[in-house]
Every structure is written in structure tokens, then in C-alpha cells.
Amino acid sequence: MHRRTFLRHFGLAAPASLAAQQQRTADPRLAKLTPGPKPAIAVNHLGFMPKARKSVLYRLSGPAAPSEFTIREIGSVTPPFRITRPLTRVPSDLGDCVVGDFTEVEREGMYQITISDEGSVPFFIRPDVWRRTLPKAFNFYPQKRCGIAVPNVHPACHLDDARRRDNGQHIDVTGGWHDAGDLRKWMTSALLSGAALSNLVRNLGEAWNLDGCGLAPVLDEIKWGNRYWRKMQDTDGRVFNDAAGGLGGDNSDNHWTDNLIGNADDRYINPSKPNLVQAQFVTVQALLSQIYRKTDPGYGQACLPAALRCWNANTPGNDALGLGWWVLAALELYRASGQNQWAGQTASLAARLLALQNRDYIGNQKVVRGFWRTSEQNPAPLVHHCFPGIPAIALMEAAKGMPDHPDAQRWRDAVRLYLDEYVLPLASRNAYRIMPFGIFSGSPSAERYRPLAGELTYRYFMPVARGSHGLTSHFESFAAMLAMAGQAFRKTEYTDLAYRQLEWVMGANPFGACLMSGEGMRNPYPHSRYEGLTVGAIMNGMGGNENDDPLLDMDYGFDWHTTEYWQPHNAWYLWTHSLLEGRWA
């Protein structure tokens, strides 16, 4: 995964000065990556479940607007099915659209929509339209294994990983997964995958794969990942940040090696130990102690000491994102052990997280509230390209795991405030119903910030001054949070909005492009320099320019900003569908 941008947004490197940030511009190749006149139709390439809400968008390029659309069944089902329904004009950020609803169509089959002279991609209406993609999304992991030969992908690799950058000491950290379109191994991404795969096991069980293969492949893959995660725990109990991430996120470690320890091509361990990584590690080890309780109790029990060593060696920070992960860490220790001390830790950390919520309107406006401040010292609204849903997820999980706690209702109320007075109002500003990247106070850099109300502004995409790249994990993180909220509060509006975030990733976007290789149509060619196409891998997706317009490399430019595979995208995809398709355990 790239680089200084990645480090900066995970809080692992000091940001440049504001003046230096404002001098940065997007890659000049990206300037032309704006949507053309076609495809004007935006629809989820996979399709829809029979009882789901179903919609199609048509992007307008002039004042004239079509008034109707036709949907017809194009498979082998008889008798033929064809209906025409109205289109409604919707002024919207990201371009005016007309929108059509066909929720009424529940008959299973393959369909196509026609608007004016354009046909949509074919798509299914069937109950397993999403579930059947989960094996492909999971397939990312065995194809990305490091430290072993992967048939038809690469021979055994990086058997010499790695040496500490501070003192040169060699530590065996072989294994894990290549993180993205490169050969690095970031713990933030890997541990997110550990949480996601554990939730896939917990929420969907053997039903995760319709071919009846059971959980063995997932459980084996988690163990493969955990070999690396456990090796990255230092003797002091704390966990290193990455192996092969390079010096300050550069490309110096992004290469194949000769597999011989002690040569010049040996890669490095980053010996820094960010607080976020520690919280994720505890969370994952506590999760593993639970999901292996039946299938391999000895293995599961061995994970708890690693979690406790890390917990005891760290002190939670004061930022909203980190506190969210620490709440999850304490909660999973409570679930794993049943000890009341962890219930108390969960509640204490949740109280600190609640204290960071803006319950009052700020910035001379009364449009949005309920969002999180970045930290106890930084009042800026929390924005993050990978984990924005974590604070709300943590509070919902705490209320679920400790329903009789005196503060459980406060946790639920905080999430409802966030959803109803922040998420829903912002998502309603565009016809695609995607969540903007976030809100800001004024214009922090010399580019477009859309006026919200009072002193507040917002952007759909990352500011270029911060190093803009695609936001697939941002949308999927919100999808997971909304999927959980749909169950927690029995509100279909939240569930529907979760699907809209996923539909954007799977083709219902201004480029009509599906971002998962091996599914849908008009897939961009991925930035995957060492391994090429990976079936089931998901790309960064739409980024933005200074004007906050969506960008996507559809011209085979090998642009990492928008088309690189990143491990978090697959992790969030699986975690989200474990909630939408399964039981929230």
C-alpha cells in the first residue's frame, strides 16, 4: 500500500505543514479521469435480492431528462417479463440524476434496464446475489500469502523477513499476506482482516460459502495470518507497526528478495508501536480465543496470553478512532474470559468515547451533530479513509455484549444521534446516497470544500492537500456500521443505506465500473505490480480532485490512487456481509 499517504492517514507519520500540503497537487494524469457521457446508467452490477430496495440512476449531461425506464428479464424464464416505470429528477451533488425505483420486481431472473438509447449491464435478482461473491472476496487472502509458494502466483518469497530498522537485529516475521498491489505487510490492514474474518466466522458460520465447504478454509487462513501477527509482538508485549513498509513509507522495501538471511536485500521491520495497532492486536487475539473454542480449544486458549501481554504493556490513547478499537478490545476480552473486570474496562473506555461526541450543534449551524471529535486535544471532526465506522461499531457492540449495563442505553442513544443527525443528512445530499469523506471547519486547504451550513463544509473525497486516493474502505466501513445498526435498531432505512455504499463499489457509480476483479463489468485494470490480476480483490475506487469531482483510472494508466488493490477493502466487504447475510452474534 502506498506510502506516506497511508502513514499519514493512520496517524503514523507527522503531517506536513499546512503550507506544504496546499502546494501538493494530484497526479497530473488524474486530471482527465472525469466521467464521460456514457455510461450514464448507474446500477449495481451484481443485482438485488428479491425483497431488497432496488433503484437505477441515470446521470444527466444536459437540461433534457428521460421520463421513464424499462426493465426486462433477459434470461430463460418464461413467460417474458417487461415493465416501464417513471424516472424522477433528483438535484444532487456529484451531478443531477434521474432515479427509478423497481423495488416491486421480486421475480428471480437476469434483467437489463434501458433508458433512452442506453442499456445497463445485465444483473440478477436472486437471493444469493451477494452471498455468492464472498468466496471470491475471501480468495484474496490465500492468493496474497507471503513466505510460501502460491501456485500460479509466485514461488516461495521473503523467507528472510526481516531485520529491525533501529538495531539491525534479525527477527523471524515470515508469513502473513502481501498487503496490496505491492509486497508490504502493514499490521493495521492485517489486523483489520483478522477482525473481519473472525466476524465472518462468528456471524455467518458454515453458511459463509454456499458450496458447503465449511469453515475449515477460513479458520486455516486466519491461523496463517496469526503466525505473522504473533511474530510481530515484541518481548515487551507491544506490537511492531509493519514489516517491509519502507523508510517513511517509501518503496525501499517493496521488492522480492533472495530468501537468504543477512544479505543486502533483506527487508526491515518498523520498530515503532502505534497505539492503534496495539488495540487492534488485543481485539483480534481475544476474538481468536473465542472462534477456535470448539474447533481447536488449545489454540484458542493460547491467544489470550498474547492479548493480555499487549493490554498490560499499553495505555489507551485519547483519540476517537483508537478509543473505538480499545472498547472492542476490552469487550472481546470480556466475552472471551467472562471476567467482570473487562466489563468495567469496556464501560470506562466507552465513557471516554462518548465524551468525544458533539451532542450540541457547532459552527453556527443546526444541520448536523452527533459526530466525533478527533481526540481530546483536537476538536476537528473525525475523518478517516479506512475506519470511520469504528466508534459507532464499538458502542453498538458494547450495548450488544453488555445489554444490562447502566450505560447501555446511552451507548445506543449516541449511535442513533450520529446516524439520524449526521449520517442520514449527509448521505441525502447525493443521488447515490454515499457518505461523504467528512465535514470540516471552513476550508483547510486551497481547494473546493462544499458549504454545509454555518462555518461547516464537507467533501466527498479526500482533500488533495492530504494526498487523495480512493475511498472504498471508507464506504464499506460505513456499510458495516449501518448493517449493524439496521439489526440493532430494527430499522430498514439503515440497512438500505448500507447496501447503497456497497452498490457504489460494485458499479452504481458515475463511471459504471465494478471495483472487484472477476465480478461485474467495466473493471479498471488494477495497480498490482507484482502479482497481476487477483480474482476477488477490490480496488481503491473513486478518488477526487481539487474540485471534489470523482476520479477513476479507466484508461489503463496503472494509477495506484484509484485502482490499487488494498487489503482493507476485502476485509470490510467480508465483515459487512457477515452482518447483512448472517446473524449479529
Top CATH class, 47-125:
mainly beta
Work out whether strand 163-164 and strand 268-270 pair parallel, antiparallel, or are unpaired: parallel
CB 369 within 8 A of CB 417: yes
CB 238 within 8 A of CB 313: yes
C-alpha cell recorded at residue 331: 469487550
What 484-487 contacts at long range (C-beta under 8 Å, 24+ apart), as own/partner pairs, is 484/393, 484/396, 484/397, 484/579, 484/584, 485/392, 485/396, 485/415, 485/419, 487/579, 487/584
C-alpha cell recorded at residue 514: 465494478
DSSP secondary structure string, 249-274? Answer: T-STT-S---S-TTSTT--EEE----
The CATH number that domain 3-31+131-580 falls under is 1.50.10.10
Q: Give the model's pLDDT for residue 9.
A: 35
d(CA 525, CA 563): 7
Q: Give the model's pLDDT for residue 232.
A: 98
CB 549 within 8 A of CB 559: no
Q: Give the model's pLDDT for residue 36.
A: 64
Count Cβ neighbours within 10 Å for each residue of 433-454 and write b for 16 or more, e otherwise.
Answer: bbbbbbbbeeebbebbbeebbe
User: Within 10 A of 246 (CB to CB), how many other CB atoms are there?
Assistant: 22
CB 186 within 8 A of CB 178: no
Q: Give the model's pLDDT for residue 34.
A: 65
In the three-class reduction of DSSP (H, G, I as helix; E, B as strand; rest coil), residue 410 is classed as: helix
The two domains 3-31+131-580 and 47-125 share their CATH topology (first three levels equal): no
CA proximity to 83, closest of 98, 72, 75, 74: 72
- Taken in order 542, 375, 244, 289, is the CA torsion positive or negative? negative
What is the identity of the amino acid at 4? R
d(CA 557, CA 573): 26
Tens of each residue's pLDDT in the chain, 585 residues = 544 333 333 333 333 322 232 333 345 555 556 666 679 999 999 999 999 999 999 999 888 999 999 999 998 767 889 999 999 999 899 999 999 999 999 999 999 999 999 999 999 999 999 999 999 999 999 999 999 999 999 999 999 999 999 999 999 999 999 999 999 999 999 999 999 999 999 999 999 998 888 999 999 999 999 999 999 999 999 999 999 999 988 899 999 999 999 999 999 999 999 999 999 999 999 999 999 999 999 999 999 999 999 999 999 999 999 999 999 999 999 999 999 999 999 999 999 999 999 999 999 999 999 999 999 999 999 999 999 999 999 999 999 999 999 999 999 999 999 999 999 999 999 999 999 999 999 999 999 999 999 999 999 999 998 788 999 999 999 999 999 999 999 999 999 999 999 999 999 999 999 999 999 999 999 999 999 999 999 999 999 999 999 999 999 999 999 999 999 999 999 999 999 999 876
User: Within 10 A of 23 (CB to CB), how many other CB atoms are there?
Assistant: 12
Q: What is the pTM of this model?
A: 0.94
Question: Angle, to 10 degrees, between the axis of helix 472-488 and the axis of helix 390-401?
Answer: 30
What is the identity of the amino acid at 451? P
What residue spans define the domains of the chain? 3-31+131-580, 47-125
User: Within 10 A of 106 (CB to CB), how many other CB atoms are there?
Assistant: 13
What number of CA atoms fall less than 13 Å from residue 66's CA on the CB side? 24
Count Cβ neighbours within 10 Å for each residue of 312-321 and write b for 16 or more, e otherwise.
Answer: eebebbbbbb
